[in-house]
Amino acid sequence: MVTDDIIKVENLSFSFGQQKVLNNISLNVPKGSVYGFLGPNGSGKTTTIKLLLNLLQNHENNIFLFGKEIKANREDVLKKVGSLIEGPALYHHLSGFDNLKARAIILGINNERINDILSIVGLTDAAKKKAGKYSLGMKQRLGIGLALLSDPELLILDEPTNGLDPNGIIEIRNLIKKLSIEHQKTIFISSHLLAEIERIATHVGILYQGNLSFEGKIEDLQSLAKSTLCVDTDDNLKAATILNINYEVLKDDKRLRIPYESPEQAAAINKLLIQNDISVYNLFKEKKDLESLFLDITQTV
Ligand SMILES: Nc1ncnc2c1ncn2[C@@H]1O[C@H](COP(=O)(O)OP(=O)(O)OP(=O)(O)O)[C@@H](O)[C@H]1O
């Protein structure tokens, strides 16, 4: 298949027994992107990731990595992928360095590369410490280091910030940015937290109950967030009654909100209120934040 997408999935469905977990989802992950795969718990993210890595059996030929169907090209394709799913498998009695060394021996990778990896994931100073004594954030970073050993083009990370404290989250976020910008990795990262993804992703796919309810650039998602005109007056009840005649006044206990259309609409509303002897304290345009948009998208499927 000729495609610039590092991951391409076409109408993928999957069931565990009678339970349908994925319903006809299609994904397009461009080269060089940080693709945030968002969805609430249980929406099917881990299942999708396991299918992408050929860890669950898929009877269709509809998953392509690097333009190649994965089942027919399993080895060829998967050697270019590093992944971290459901927490890293570490030897707790071994140091960070030796954990990497154990994997490096199998892959035929030298100590210089191990030291590079430790530096990339910020564990140089803790290299000799036992992994069992690492914080959760350090363990996750070591797990990402293991995934990076073979210098994969694509990194697939399943909820890498799950359970981390704010510092741990920031460290992982910075690491992902670095891997994307300085090391040109394509990164597919799942999360149930929009705020997390919003800060690092270039592209977003939103999964809800096994359906892909949005896919696009992060800017496309942001532009979907509709603006409202917020109005504060000395008599909101009276103002709402007047505005209701010509406008849709949205329900809000604190202030009046009207779907924003144009600067002229804002001026007309202002004029109308003043003509009716209502003092206008505030009148401004507010863009819906992505968090509420995410809730909208996942509640209206
Ligand atoms: N091995 C399995 N056998 C049966 N059902 C499963 C199995 N793995 C997952 N499921 C079910 O499939 C659905 C999707 O699970 P999945 O782990 O893919 O969701 P998720 O979006 O990754 O959620 P979470 O963030 O909670 O891991 C859930 O209802 C889950 O109970």
CA of 47 to the centre of ligand 1 (A): 6
CA of 52 to the centre of ligand 1 (A): 15
20 lines ligand 1 (CB under 6 A): no
The ipTM value here is 0.95
161 lines ligand 1 (CB under 6 A): no
Of 45, 56, 159, the one to substitute when testing ligand 1's pocket (max ligand atoms within 8 A of C-beta) is: 45
205 lines ligand 1 (CB under 6 A): no
57 lines ligand 1 (CB under 6 A): no
Model confidence at 299: pLDDT above 80: no
| Tens of pLDDT, residues 269-292 | 999 999 999 999 999 998 776 777
Query: What is the pLDDT, as a whole number, of residue 1?
Result: 61
| Tens of pLDDT, residues 226-241 | 788 999 999 999 999 9
CA of 158 to the centre of ligand 1 (A): 12
Q: Between 68 and 288, name the one with better pLDDT.
A: 68
213 lines ligand 1 (CB under 6 A): no
Percent above pLDDT 70 for the chain: 96
Query: What is the pLDDT, as a whole number, of residue 301?
Result: 45
Model confidence at 2: pLDDT above 60: no
CA of 125 to the centre of ligand 1 (A): 37
- Domains annotated for the chain, with CATH where assigned, are 5-223 (3.40.50.300), 226-288 (3.30.70)
CA of 43 to the centre of ligand 1 (A): 7
Query: What is the pLDDT, as a whole number, of residue 173?
Result: 93
| Tens of pLDDT, residues 155-209 | 999 999 988 888 999 999 999 999 999 999 999 999 988 888 888 999 999 999 9
CA of 132 to the centre of ligand 1 (A): 28
Q: Which atom of ligand 1 is nearest to the CA of 48?
A: 18
Query: What is the pLDDT, as a whole number, of residue 300?
Result: 53
CA of 48 to the centre of ligand 1 (A): 10
35 CB contacts (<8 Å, ≥6 apart)? 7, 29, 186, 187, 188, 189, 201, 202, 203, 204, 205
CA of 292 to the centre of ligand 1 (A): 25
42 lines ligand 1 (CB under 6 A): yes
16 lines ligand 1 (CB under 6 A): yes
| Tens of pLDDT, residues 123-151 | 999 999 999 999 999 999 999 999 999 99
**Cβ contact 14:59 at 8 Å:** no
| Tens of pLDDT, residues 34-63 | 999 999 889 999 999 999 999 999 999 999
The model's pTM is 0.82
**Token pair belonging to 184:** 């040109």
